[in-house]
Amino acid sequence: MSRYALVGNPNCGKTSLFNRLTGANAKVANYPGVTVERRSGFIQGLGTRVELIDLPGTYSLATSSLDEQVAKDMILGNIPGEPTPDLLIAVVDATNLQLGLGLVFELIALQRPMILVLNQMDAARARGLVIDTQGLAQDLGLPVITSIAVKRDGVDELLAALQPDQTVGHPSPQPLAESSIESIHSYIQTLLAKHVHQPASTPAWQNRLDSYVMHPIWGLAILMGILLVVFQAVFAWAEPFKEGIEWCVDNLKSLTQEQLPTGILRDFLSEGIIAGVGGVLVFLPQIIILFFFILVLEDSGYLARAAFLLDKPMRGIGLSGRAFIPLLSSFACAVPGIMATRTIGDPKERWISIMVAPLMTCSARLPVYTLIIAAFIPTQTVLGIFNLQGLTLFALYLAGVISGALIAWLLRKRKDGHSFPLLLELPNYRWPMPYHLWMGLRERAYIFLRRVGTIILSLTVIVWFLSTYPAAPPEANRAAIEYSFAGVIGQFIQPLFAPLGFNWQMCIALIPAMAAREIAVATLATVYAVSIETDVSSLGANLAASWSLPVALAYLAWFIYAPQCVSTIAVVRRETNSIGSTAFFVVYLFALAYGAALITYHLARQFL
């Protein structure tokens, strides 16, 4: 079987081309030992099976980012288990030839069989670019093909060129005699002058748009507006879908309980697997909506501008504009947020971003927050317009963000003191393409579901086991969970939490909450012997009767910080590839949670 590899700059439309060529069969995995995504699929519409690999986007093979190292090693066949690709497909954005051809000449120097694809020819034609592809092909010693990845028939010419009879025995191009970067670039200038008619500048509308979007004041105002819309969408639009999934999970649970005989299997399926996995699955709509916006903003070219605007403020706390996207994602769920830190070039900054990502309030905390706020915070109007309950929720979000900023700043203090460059390309604005968006969302959803199906499922089973066994004795007069391992552990650790004012019921709820924070609500319902399905408000009333206000506030403070989610810990372990970092992550967050709850409890007792 043949293997072809796509190589090109970030933003050259390589991934759209990949989606177009492989259709729906792409596979995303990691390269062994490193957290660089390996994307591969089979080319559709060729007579034979050809695997296409989408190498990480890279500007040059000379420098040493992890992505570029992987791209180079792949091309040269230096990665164990990854044979050398039979053909390199170098992709260049036709509207950005100078930058793209720089990489092409580095690839030519490797002397591998290759072809050159000038992508985004529609945009190039629209701005009046005329390219003599035959002349270019002759001077480069490579077949040169044009494509429009965003159009269905835009890759026909490329497909024809990829037919096996076209690529077999393809000669490798001859490298330039003089290989310094200066001489390569001056040769590119000669080539472009000879074969390309270029208009004087980028389209006026793009520059005009940039004068607002990148304006120091209007730009920030636009960014805040966009963020507001995104948050609104993530929390409001997802609600009906969330309810739909909850409805399905509940029905599946009751169906299992009706159809199966009473026993371990029934409990395992309904209470363990369906309830546990369902509890995490409800976040899928929020994650999809968030990624929809991130993909739209990314494909349109806006995200690089947002990173430009936020670079300086974020540098104040030791991060950079590049950390913005991962931290934004963490408001939906820290797991995709931590995975998105891969785009950060500075290893130290990436590490800090991973460490603080869970301090951005993820949606799993909302059920806990809303339950306790509704039970303890009176609905009263403050300063004429604000609702006290809403303000409390806002304060909890703010506490997370401010703590994240402080921790990042503290962690950065320990570094070697050298700057890391930003050097960020601000790509041309483009309309996001529905097909590409659809493929991107499918991929994100698949990655999330695969996690739910593997790590989260196994953790759920463990937590279910701890909360179910041993079973309550027949003469039991208290909730069954009190007799289980989780109950025993909860009561055992209660003295540790006594200084925070936590009672043993609260401690028990912390244990299954390790699978997913919102399970704490279900557990509290169990230990207070309330059926949560019928009446959430009665759980609130029960809590209000048995907890004092300082205790409730301390519990909220605990949930701001505690790394109460094993999936996050697992993903930190994978992305940092370090047990030490993972241990630090867990210990510092638990310490912070303990300290914050302790201070909250004692301050609240003094003043409330």
Partner 1 sequence: MQALTAEYLSPDVSTPVGHLSLTECSKGQEVILTELRPNAAFGEHDGAVTARMKALGFLPGVQLKVIGYGLFGRDPMAVQINGTKFALRRAEAHKLLVIPL
Q: Does 214 bind partner 1 (CB under 8 A)?
A: yes
Interacting residue with partner 1 among 98, 163, 300, 548 (CB under 8 A): 98
Q: Does 216 bind partner 1 (CB under 8 A)?
A: yes
Interacting residue with partner 1 among 418, 534, 545, 606 (CB under 8 A): 418
Give, as ranges, the residues between 288 and 327 that touch partner 1 (CB under 8 A): 304, 307-309, 311-313, 321
Query: In angstroms, what is the minimal distance from the CB of 42 to partner 1?
Result: 33
Choose one: 217-225, 252-260, 451-459, 544-552; the region binding partner 1 (CB under 8 A): 217-225
Interacting residue with partner 1 among 34, 391, 422, 437 (CB under 8 A): 422
Q: Does 197 bind partner 1 (CB under 8 A)?
A: no
- 323 CA to centre of own chain: 11
Query: In angstroms, what is the minimal distance from the CB of 105 to partner 1?
Result: 11
CA distances from 442 to 163, 241, 437 (A): 28, 17, 8
Interacting residue with partner 1 among 82, 139, 210, 267 (CB under 8 A): 210
Q: Estimate the crossing angle of helix 434-451 against helix 284-299, to 10 degrees.
A: 140
Structure tokens at 72: 């180079």
Query: In angstroms, what is the minimal distance from the CB of 596 to partner 1?
Result: 29
* H-run or E-run covering 2: strand 2-8
* H-run or E-run covering 7: strand 2-8
CA-nearest of 31, 19, 4 to 85 is 4
Give, as ranges, the residues between 515 and 574 that touch partner 1 (CB under 8 A): none
Query: In angstroms, what is the minimal distance from the CB of 127 to partner 1?
Result: 10
Q: Does 44 bind partner 1 (CB under 8 A)?
A: no
Contact criterion met (CB below 8 Å) for 57 and 12 = yes
Query: In angstroms, what is the minimal distance from the CB of 61 to partner 1?
Result: 9
CA distances from 266 to 47, 209, 358, 483, 516 (A): 50, 59, 34, 20, 22
Give, as ranges, the residues between 426 and 485 that touch partner 1 (CB under 8 A): 426-427
Q: 10 burial class (0-12, 13-18, 19+ CB within 10 angstroms)?
A: middle
How far apart are alpha carbons 130 and 143 in whole angstroms? Answer: 18
Specify the residue, 182 or 475, whose C-beta has the smaller distance to partner 1. 182
Q: Does 413 bind partner 1 (CB under 8 A)?
A: no
Q: Does 260 bind partner 1 (CB under 8 A)?
A: no
Going by C-beta distance under 8 Å and a sequence separation of 6 or more, which residues neighbour residue 529?
Answer: 479
Query: In angstroms, what is the minimal distance from the CB of 489 to partner 1?
Result: 48
Choose one: 149-157, 240-248, 420-428, 475-483; the region binding partner 1 (CB under 8 A): 420-428
Query: In angstroms, what is the minimal distance from the CB of 185 to partner 1?
Result: 5
Query: In angstroms, what is the minimal distance from the CB of 91 to partner 1?
Result: 16
Q: If you ran DSSP here, which 8-state letter would residue 43 be given?
A: P
Interacting residue with partner 1 among 4, 18, 31, 59 (CB under 8 A): 59
How far apart are alpha carbons 439 and 331 in whole angstroms? Answer: 23
Q: If you ran DSSP here, which 8-state letter would residue 433 be given?
A: P
CA-nearest of 138, 131, 42, 142 to 88 is 142
How far apart are alpha carbons 133 and 194 in whole angstroms? Answer: 11
How far apart are alpha carbons 142 and 113 in whole angstroms? Answer: 9
Q: Does 419 bind partner 1 (CB under 8 A)?
A: yes
Query: In angstroms, what is the minimal distance from the CB of 230 to partner 1?
Result: 21
Specify the residue, 219 or 512, whose C-beta has the smaller distance to partner 1. 219
Choose one: 97-105, 225-233, 268-276, 278-286; the region binding partner 1 (CB under 8 A): 97-105
What are residue 7's DSSP bridge partners? 90
Instruction: Provide the sign of the torsion angle of the four alpha carbons 218, 219, 223, 229, taken in this order.
Output: positive
How far apart are alpha carbons 131 and 194 in whole angstroms? Answer: 10
Going by C-beta distance under 8 Å and a sequence separation of 6 or more, which residues neighbour residue 550?
Answer: 501, 600, 601, 602, 604, 605, 608
How far apart are alpha carbons 360 and 407 in whole angstroms? Answer: 12
Choose one: 146-154, 287-295, 416-424, 490-498; the region binding partner 1 (CB under 8 A): 416-424
Specify the residue, 164 or 316, whose C-beta has the smaller distance to partner 1. 316
Give, as ranges, the residues between 147 and 186 that touch partner 1 (CB under 8 A): 181-182, 185
Specify the residue, 279 or 427, whose C-beta has the smaller distance to partner 1. 427
Contact criterion met (CB below 8 Å) for 246 and 274 = no
Kindly determine how many residues on this chain lie close enough to bind partner 1 according to the rule CB under 8 A.
45
Q: Does 248 bind partner 1 (CB under 8 A)?
A: no
How far apart are alpha carbons 134 and 132 in whole angstroms? Answer: 6
Count of all residues that appear for the chain in the document: 608
Specify the residue, 102 or 337, whose C-beta has the smaller distance to partner 1. 102
Residue 552 φ/ψ, nearest 5 degrees: -60, -40
Q: Does 606 bind partner 1 (CB under 8 A)?
A: no
Q: Does 63 bind partner 1 (CB under 8 A)?
A: yes
Interacting residue with partner 1 among 2, 35, 60, 300 (CB under 8 A): 60
Interacting residue with partner 1 among 138, 166, 174, 211 (CB under 8 A): 211
Q: Does 62 bind partner 1 (CB under 8 A)?
A: yes
Specify the residue, 316 or 499, whose C-beta has the smaller distance to partner 1. 316
Query: In angstroms, what is the minimal distance from the CB of 196 to partner 1?
Result: 11
Going by C-beta distance under 8 Å and a sequence separation of 6 or more, which residues neighbour residue 55?
Answer: 5, 6, 7, 70, 71, 74, 75
Phi-psi region of 81 (alpha: psi -120 to 50; beta: other; left: phi over 0): left
In the complex, the residues that contact partner 1 under the rule CB under 8 A are 59-60, 62-64, 95-96, 98-99, 102, 181-182, 185, 198, 201-202, 207, 210-211, 214-217, 219-220, 304, 307-309, 311-313, 321, 416-427
